[in-house]
Amino acid sequence: MNELELYSDRVLAQRSRSGSATYPVLAALLAGTTSAGFSWFFLFFLIWLYRYWLCNQFLQGLKQKTRRTWKLHFSLSLLANVFAWLVMTMMIGKAHILETAVFTAGLAAGGSNSLSSDRKLCQGFLSLMLLPFALYSLNLNLHNVAAASALYWVALMRQVNVNYEFLQSAIQDNLNLREQAQELQSARHLAEENARRAVAADQAKGAFLTTISHEIRTPLNGVIGMTGVLLDTPLRPEQREFAQTIRKSGEALLLLLNDILDFSKLEADKVELEMVPFEVRQVSLDVLDLVSVSAQERGLGLHFDCPADMPVSLVGDPGRFRQVLLNLLTNAIKFTERGSVSVRLEHATLPEGSAQVRCSVHDTGCGIAQEARGKLFRPFTQADNSTTRQYGGTGLGLAICQKLVAAMGGEITLDSILGEGTTFSFTARFGLGEVTTSPAQDPASLKLAPRAGRILVVEDNRVNQQVAVRVLEKAGYTCDVAANGVEALKALENLPYDCVLMDCQMPVLDGYQATRRLRASGGINAQVLVVAATAGVTTEERKLCQEAGMDDFIAKPIQAAKLLELLQNRMPEVSEARLPEPANRSDLVEEAQKLAEQVEQMVAAGQTGGVAEILGELERVHQKLQTSFAA
């Protein structure tokens, strides 16, 4: 049984469930209140109950095999109804032939309507209902009644075909609509499932990148930081060359990691642009200053052209503008053997109160072949496979630039002549800012000015502890070390600190929870400056730091100049009365011995309750000793 037949039988059951209830009523009217009349009423009432039960059984749901049996039982109940009616009319209808004819015609019309979803069953019902009655009327010499019954049968038979075709068409349309609705529902569920999977995959990707970033940046911080410490010591020329090579290799790896993270964010549309006032001319000059050493080493000239009417203050993301320009300048210098590299700025004021800046970077290098230009902006692709071996690089730079420029409301274009040079141009839209003046400040003074104060370095990695302590103590700060959040909170209970350099991901208690507990403690350091120092560099990581109550953020690998500048700007001036005396190494050794003896005595006495706290204190003393030897 196909779906159309099943739906047709369902319509049949719905329409026929109460249709046969007319028979006992008409039988009572025709037979009267005699005993025979009550008998006929009771018989038709039983037939109606049986058919009502059959229809309910079908509508409540039946198995495939049971449906075939149901159709047989339904047909038999219909046959019993018709046969009983014919017998009754022949027995008592002679005296009431006109009423019998009207009742029979009415039952035939009602049946043709309720049974129209099954054409053969309906035609059989009409034939059994009207043709025997027509013959019975003819036998009584009621020719007019017989002729009317025959004509009525012909008319109803023709109407059955019309009703059947219309009903089948309506059922088919209904089935098609239901199928389309189911398809749409399935498509919606599939789209929702795909969306959930995409969100889950995006979250998994973000978690993976965050973890990988942290795990790579943590040792990188040690490599780059310790190399910087090493370069600050007296070295032979050969040793200095080796140390510089190590540092450059670490910085190259860091650049690759940053490119991958940037590209991942741009692919997921998760890069948020800053909207701060800046001077585009000064930003461009800063970038030129960064690459000037590389240009001089290759014997290249650097030129800069900026119109005098360039707006002094624009509102946008100077960091992203600097990133795009630095990438284009680095490429230009890398692929230019002789000649020069020039930067030109242009601008146009837009009617909606913004400005469009056009920046062009031209070089006199080897140029780019026409057939290679189409794949320049593809990720992990360069103009020629040989460039990967000759010049290095991941092929991500231009792909990142293209997406960053698009995010800034512009586009990047390329014009190149093979053997003569290349010009990369990009546009960006910025708001117009107000011109403000501030007293000039020597950047070097921020990094070199001696400062004083006590800083708690909270870091679980020993190498990173040594790097941070060495950089800070060289700048004039006094440092204590804690290996996790629990040790940090204990240290912050006893001594006043001017700053806490807090790693975020640590065992026992991480930096987020430690900062929350510190802020809620109400102790002497509840409002101390907390700077997050972590290998996580995503926007989500920064938001977590802010939500935890941290005041600032510095990414690993920590650059000494940036860290000292941040402390110079954020830390309050420290009076000499608060300056702690430097820890004496002999005092630390003596303190460690006392703590070790105390632990031995407690273990011997079976008092293990406070051993963990004393061991934690002993670990802090050992870290201080290690730091003093490293210094």
DSSP reduced 3-state for 525? coil
Tokens 């009771």 -> residue: 42
Alpha-carbon distance values, 264 to 5, 209, 380 (Å): 56, 9, 13
- State the architecture of 449-582 in CATH terms: 3-Layer(aba) Sandwich (3.40)
The SS3 of residue 481 is strand
Query: Per-residue pLDDT tens for 272-288?
Result: 777 889 999 998 998 88
% of the chain at pLDDT higher than 70: 79
Instruction: Give the model's pLDDT for residue 10.
Output: 78
Residue 529 pLDDT grade (very low, low, confident, very high; cuts 50, 70, 90) = very high
Tokens of 124: 């059989």
Helices and strands (H, E) in the chain, number of each type: 20, 12
- Confidence tier at 233 by pLDDT (50, 70, 90): confident
Is the pLDDT at 264 greater than 70? The verdict is: no
Using CA atoms, how far apart are residues 128 and 145, in angstroms rounded to an integer? 16
Instruction: Say what the pLDDT of residue 346 is.
Output: 93
Reported as type and span, the H/E element at residue 594 is helix 585-604
Continuous segment of H or E residues that includes residue 106: helix 97-114
pLDDT of residue 206: 67
Q: Is the pLDDT of residue 546 over 70?
A: yes
| Residue 603, pLDDT score | 67
Rounded to an integer, the average pLDDT of 65-85 is: 84
When mean pLDDT is compared across 98-112, 250-264, 330-344, 523-537, the lowest value belongs to 250-264
Q: How far apart are the C-alpha atoms of 115 and 123, rounded to whole Å?
A: 9
pLDDT, tens digit (0-9, with 9 covering 90-100), for 148-200: 989 999 998 888 888 888 888 887 888 788 888 888 999 999 998 988 888 88
pLDDT at residue number 404:
86
Model pLDDT, residue 629: 52
Q: Which of 217, 256, 210 is nearest to 395 (CA)?
A: 256
Whether residue 493 is predicted with pLDDT greater than 70 in this model: the reply is: yes
pLDDT band at residue 455 under the 50/70/90 scheme = very high
Q: 276-432 maps to which CATH number?
A: 3.30.565.10
- The least confident of 3-17, 250-264, 292-306, 432-446 is 432-446
On the question of pLDDT at 301 being above 50, the answer is yes
Residue 327 has pLDDT above 60, yes or no: yes
Whether residue 447 has pLDDT greater than 60: no
- Mean pLDDT is lowest, of 136-145, 297-306, 596-605, for 596-605
Per-residue pLDDT, averaged over 606-625, amounts to 63
CB 106 within 8 A of CB 149: no
Contact indicator for 463, 304 with CB cutoff of 8 Å: no
Half-sphere exposure of 568 (CA within 13 A, CB side): 17
**Segment 582-588 mean pLDDT:** 59
User: What pLDDT is attached to residue 500?
Assistant: 94
Alpha carbon distance 551, 530 (integer Å): 5
Domains of the chain, by residue range, sit at 3-176, 276-432, 449-582, 584-631
Task: State the Cα–Cα distance between residues 265 and 271, nearest whole angstrom.
Answer: 6
Q: Hey, is 571 helix, strand or coil?
A: coil
pLDDT at residue number 33 = 75
Q: 378 with 400: CB under 8 angstroms? A: no
Going by their DSSP bridges, the two strands 340-350 and 354-363 should be labelled as: antiparallel
User: Closest Cα to residue 301, out of 360, 346, 364?
Assistant: 364
Q: Are 73 and 114 in contact (CB under 8 A)?
A: no
| Strand 301-305, strand 454-458: pairing | unpaired
- What is residue 550's three-state secondary structure? coil
Distant-in-sequence contacts of 486-489, Cβ < 8 A, 24+ apart: 486/514, 486/616, 487/458, 487/616, 487/619, 487/620, 488/456, 488/458, 488/514, 488/518, 489/514, 489/517, 489/518, 489/521
Name the amino acid, one letter, at 286: D
- Under the banding of pLDDT at 50, 70 and 90, the label for residue 624 is low
Cis peptide before 557 (omega within 30 of 0): yes
384 has a pLDDT exceeding 60: no
pLDDT of residue 446: 39
How far is residue 177's CA from residue 169's CA, in Å, rounded to a whole number? 12
For position 513, what pLDDT does the model report?
93
pLDDT of res. 531: 93
| Portion of the chain with pLDDT greater than 90, in percent | 13
Rounded mean pLDDT of the chain?
80
The DSSP output letter for 522 is -
- How far, CA to CA in Å, does 477 sit from each of 451, 458, 520? 7, 15, 27
**CA distance linking residue 19 with residue 107, whole number of Å:** 9
Is 0.85 topped by the overall pTM? no
CA quadruple 561, 563, 564, 566: dihedral positive or negative? positive
Among the listed ranges 53-67, 376-390, 429-443, which one has the minimum average pLDDT value? 376-390
Q: Determine the pLDDT at residue 576.
A: 42
Query: Residue 342: helix, strand or coil by DSSP?
Result: strand
Grouping H, G, I as helix, E, B as strand and the rest as coil, residue 482 is strand
Angle at 209 between CA 405 and CA 554, to 5 degrees: 75
Contact 272, 314 (CB under 8 A): no
Per DSSP, the residues of 128-196 read HHHHHHHHHHHHTT-HHHHHHHHHHHHHHHHHHHHHHHHHHHHHHHHHHHHHHHHHHHHHHHHHHHHHH
Task: Output the pLDDT for position 442.
Answer: 42
Distance CA 512, CA 549 (A): 8
- Name the DSSP class of 509: S
Q: What is the pLDDT of residue 438?
A: 44
